[in-house]
Amino acid sequence: MDRRTILEELKKVLYPYTENKELLQHITDDTNLVKDLKINSANLVDIIIDAEAKYNIEIDFDSAEKIITVGNCIDAIAEKIK
């Protein structure tokens, strides 16, 4: 699965946690989940859990700690499903 496909899927995962849904149309690898999308930082845990369920993967503590941007998120998922 290429990064573009993961990005499109990731938008669906982020949707319930993003207040301004329009922002999701324009996200890139550099989009900061907390600063740009205004996602509650505690909800990053829920996003990881939802992504795990969606891809049937397990993201460990070290990978989770690095998730700050959309790109980091795609990296964590891509690493597990390759």
Partner 1 sequence: MMYQYILDLLPYKSSFRFVDEISYLDKDRVVGHYTLKEDAFFYEDHFPGNPVTPGAILTEIMAQIGLVVLGIYLVVGPEDAARPEAGDNPAFPLFTSVEVSFDQMVLPGQKITVISQKEYFRFGKLKCRVEMQDAAGNRIAKGVFSGIIKTISK
* Closer residue to partner 1, CB minimum distance, 28 or 40: 40
Min dist CB 66 to partner 1, Å, is 12
Q: What is the b/e burial string over 17-55, where b = at least 16 CB atoms within 10 angstroms of the residue's CB? A: bbeeeeebeebeeebebeebbebeeebbeebbebbeeeb
* Binding-site member from 27, 48, 74, 77 for partner 1 (CB under 8 A): 48
Min dist CB 7 to partner 1, Å, is 23
Question: Contact between 64 and partner 1 (CB under 8 A)?
Answer: yes
Tokens of 6: 């993961």
Tokens of 81: 């499903």
* Closer residue to partner 1, CB minimum distance, 35 or 66: 66
Q: Interaction with partner 1 in 17-46: which residues (CB under 8 A)?
A: 40, 42-43, 45-46
What is the spatial distance between Cα 66 and Cα 59, in angstroms, rounded to a whole number?
11
